[in-house]
Structure formats: structure tokens, C-alpha cells
Amino acid sequence: MEITGREQPTRWLPETVLVVEDDPAFRDALAELIDTDPKLRVAGCAADAREAVAMVRSLRPDACLCDVRLPGGGGELVASEARRSAPETRVVALSACDDLETILGMIQAGAVSYIVKGTPGDEVLDGVHRALRGQSSMPTIATAEVAARLRGHDTRSEERVALLRKVLDHNLMSMVFQPIVAMRTGVPMAFEALCRISAPPPRTPDLWFEDAAWHGLGLEFELKAIRLALEHLPHLPGRCLLHVNASPAVAMTPQLASTLLTSVDPGRIVLELTEHTEILDYAALTAALAPLRQAGVLIGVDDAGSGFSSMSHIVNMEPDVIKLDISLVRDVHLNRIRRSMVGALAEFARQAGPMVVAEAVEVEEERSTLLSLGVNAGQGYLFGRPAPCVCAVAPVADLEAVAISA
């Protein structure tokens, strides 16, 4: 058949939909609804934002039907991460909330549509199909107002900048610390500094930093978080290392180098490069990191196994630390492919030299499997949750006393 005008070729394979909902019964009902449509297929189901982010990165579904009120970071985290790492995934928000601020928050985070729970099943399916075609859907009562607010978003930049400035200038940014342990003993080897922001509206830290970067304050936000983290370096137990995070763009600035090199002991710092966008000039980044390496700062690659943190990225960076992404660690004991990938990375690291750290280790089965694959360091709720000071996590002596048996 000759295709003319606006006609499109038939897509024979069904389009994939990731279902994200913390209520098990409703999640199952949504999955069953998707499966009734011959043009759609359920790619997978997630119960919280962290699991959803990992599945978006690994599965890259055509659409993501996502609840707004999710544990682990909320629907805004899922939408913003899909926009960054899987822009082809269309996020459809589904929520019992129909207030303007919630709708606007999801749309600004990256959702293309917003459907209120209780909407008939055929209308939910229609909303998914519209999103897949690049068309928006939202509650009729909010359509005009949301459109007006979105059109006026740029005119409110001064308000956004004022709020971001308030975060910087009024001590609304703080740090919590999560231990990185030797998984055979549970004894901490390092602590990662994680940012928390106590300003309205309630948002996950990554959305605050994304907003800051959009308004030209990304450098100030990242440096502020790093300086706050470095204040705790002298209080870390023993010779534990401190992991701090920076984007490649900030890592290439002289301000970061001066901040790290004037710390108490640069040799106890691990600079984790957060990688959400592709690095186009490795030579320039390598040159910027050279004085840090010479001073003893260790370089870490975050989220290995997802997004742009590929093997070529690792080879180019020559890191001292490789952190395995949650998409590889979650249920590694149940998934042969994940075990193969983790084992390959562990063997690469054994020969090349960097230490491998498994992120988001939550159950004993994951820990024992990772150890059997050659991954000896881990981070996650199994070993300790983020806390405002390292003493609140656990002193070394106490951890040794309650060490996890190998």
C-alpha cells in the first residue's frame, strides 16, 4: 500500500506501558485494564518511585501510567527521571488528587497527561493512547488554568529565583549521611552525603537541583551541598571516606577544585559524578579532574548500568569507584541477566583496579548474591538509612559488634 498524506505505517507490535501504583489491588486492576487493549502491553509493574525509576531506565517503556502519591520520591521523581533518561517514555499521571498545584507539579516535572482516579477504564485507555500520540489529557476543570499557568511559567522566573535564593541564604539545605559498608562485616568504609531541602513546596532534591540549574543557580546549589558535606569530614569515624556528588558541568569548574582542595583531607573524598546527560568532551573533563586526582581525591562513577553510565563511560573516566545502579542490584538473586552483568563488572574491576559498590541493597539475598559475584562493598537500607550525622547511623565499634555474618 502506498502511504500518502498523513497516513502512517501500521505498528504491529503493541506499545508497552509501565504501571506504577503502590496499592497492590489497584495496580493489578490497572495491569488487567492495559492487557484488555490489543494495542498495549504491560511492560512491568512498580510499587514505589525508586523501583519505577529503575524500570524506566532499564525497560524504556513507550508509556508510564504513574500514581502521583508514591513512596520513595513521588510521581514527580518518576516523571522528571523519565524526561532525563528516557525521553521517549510518555508519563501519564493518575491520582485521586485533582487540585491545580498537584496537576501543575506533575506536568512541569514531565508528565504529558493527568487522569483522575475514578475515571472510566475506557477513558483511561484513551488517555494513554493520546499520550502515546503526543497529545495531552487533563481534568476539564483544570485545562484552561493549567495552560495559563504553564504559559506564564517564564514570567514567574523572578519568584522561582527568589525561592531558590532563600534555600541558599537561609539554611534550608542540609545533609544526611548513608553508610557504605564492607558487606561481609557491616563495618562502614565510607559515608555518602545526600542533600535534603526543607522549603515549600515539598519536592525531591533532584527536582530542586534541576530547577536551580534551569535558573542559572546549579553551580551555587551543588557547591553549597558539597561545602555542607565537607563540614562533617573531620567527624567521620576512623579513616572512613566521604562521598560527595557533582555533575560533570560543575566538576569542570575551578570553584569545585578550590572547594575540595581546601578541605581537611582531600585524600578522604570520593567525588561521585552524577551522570544524567551525555558527556561530549571527555578530554576536557579529564583535564579538569587531573589536579583533584593529584591531590588524592578519588573519582567515582555513579549509577553504572543505567543511562549514560555505560562501559565506554567507565573506560573513559578510569574511576576509582564504580557504583552499581539499583536497576542491576534490585532482585539480583532472582535475575540471571543482572547476575551476569554484575559479575562482568566485578571481574572488570578486579582486573582494572576500581572498587565496586552496590547501591540500594535492601535484602539479605541481594547481599549474599553480590558477595558471591565478587562485589564486596554495599550501600542501602539493609546496612543503614540516611541520618543527619554519622554518629546517628552507627559508630564503628557498634557496627563491629553487630556485624552481619558472611
Per-residue pLDDT of the chain (406 residues; tens, 9 = 90+): 333 343 444 445 789 999 999 999 999 999 999 999 999 999 999 999 989 998 998 888 999 999 998 888 889 999 988 888 788 899 999 988 877 778 888 888 888 889 988 888 988 999 899 888 877 776 654 555 555 555 555 445 677 888 999 999 998 999 999 999 999 999 999 999 999 999 887 888 888 887 887 777 889 999 999 999 999 999 898 889 999 999 888 998 999 999 999 877 999 999 999 765 567 678 889 999 999 999 999 999 988 876 545 678 888 899 999 999 888 999 999 999 999 999 999 999 999 999 999 999 999 999 999 999 999 999 999 999 999 876 545 444 333 333 333 3
Do 34 and 94 meet the contact criterion of CB atoms below 8 Å apart? no
How high is the pLDDT of residue 401?
A: 35
Same fold, 15-151 and 157-401: no
Q: DSSP letters along 340-363, please?
A: HHHHHHHHHHHHH--EEEE----S
Indicate the domain borders of the chain. Answer: 15-151, 157-401
CA distances from 50 to 11, 237, 304, 390, 400 (A): 31, 29, 16, 24, 30
For the CA atoms of 50, 52, 54, 55, what is the dihedral angle to 10 degrees?
160
Lookup: cell for 111: 508528565
In angstroms, what is the C-alpha Rg of the chain?
22
Whether a cis peptide bond, with omega within 30° of 0, leads into 188 is: no
SS (H, E, C) 298-310: EEEEEEECCCCCC
Cα(38)–Cα(307) distance, integer angstroms:
30
What pTM value is reported for the model? 0.64
Q: Regarding beta strands 188-197 and 173-182, do their DSSP bridges make them parallel or antiparallel, or are they unpaired? A: antiparallel
Q: Which CATH number fits domain 157-401: 3.40.50.360, 3.40.50.970, 3.20.20.450, 1.10.1510.10?
A: 3.20.20.450
In this prediction, residue 155 carries a pLDDT of 46
Separation of alpha carbons 393 and 403, rounded Å: 14
Q: Which CATH superfamily is domain 15-151 in?
A: Response regulator (3.40.50.2300)
